[in-house]
Structure 1
Amino acid sequence: MAENTMPGGWSAYHDLTPEDESVFHEALAGFVGVHYTPFAVSTQVVAGMNYKYKCEASMPPSDVIWEVIIEIFKPLHGSAHIVSIIRI
């Protein structure tokens, strides 16, 4: 099924592919404190790829869970990195 997004536009949120999961883990490698579990992603093709991950966040040992959007940029050459984390 083809996506109906305009060039440069964001895709609809969808389940993560193995590639989406790999980019998420690459960007958060070594990140400590809050635990993030992604459950949906939206992407935008630019000179590389922008990702918006909807995640559940928690800070063990607390049982409190909240939602965030983590924006990640993966350049054509180089490593993925976090652009922003916004609590929703």
Structure 2
Amino acid sequence: MTTTTVGGWSAWGPVTPEEKKIFTEATHGLVGVIYTPQLVSTQLVAGTNYRFKCQASLVSPAIGQWEAIVQIYQPLKGAPHITHITPV
């Protein structure tokens, strides 16, 4: 995991296996678009916010690919969930 200061976002860094697990849990059930995390930035709050820089593509690859930021919140207790997806 990258170094994080409370309230501030960390620098972008490689996705660890633990962060990949959080991403997979939060995005489980999404249909139509495939998001592949490339980098991650974190923010410590009452839990942890994650910004995953992803390669995104429609299930039909003929449509093309783009980058997106998938923001996920991991509360202190409970399951992580998506809070926002922004095409870049």
8 Å CA contact 2:5–2:44 kept in 1: the answer is no
8 Å CA contact 2:26–2:82 kept in 1: the answer is yes
Aligned to 2:32: 33
TM-score, structure 1 length as denominator? 0.91
Number of aligned positions between the proteins: 86
| Structure 2: 5+ residue stretches without partners | none
C-alpha deviation, 1:6, in angstroms: 4.3
Aligned to 1:51: 50
- Greater CA deviation, 61-70 or 33-42? 61-70
| Structure 1: 5+ residue stretches without partners | none
Aligned to 2:9: 10
Give the SS at the match of 2:19: helix
TM-score, structure 2 length as denominator? 0.91
RMSD of aligned Cα (Å) = 1.4
C-alpha deviation, 1:8, in angstroms: 1.1
C-alpha deviation, 1:21, in angstroms: 0.1
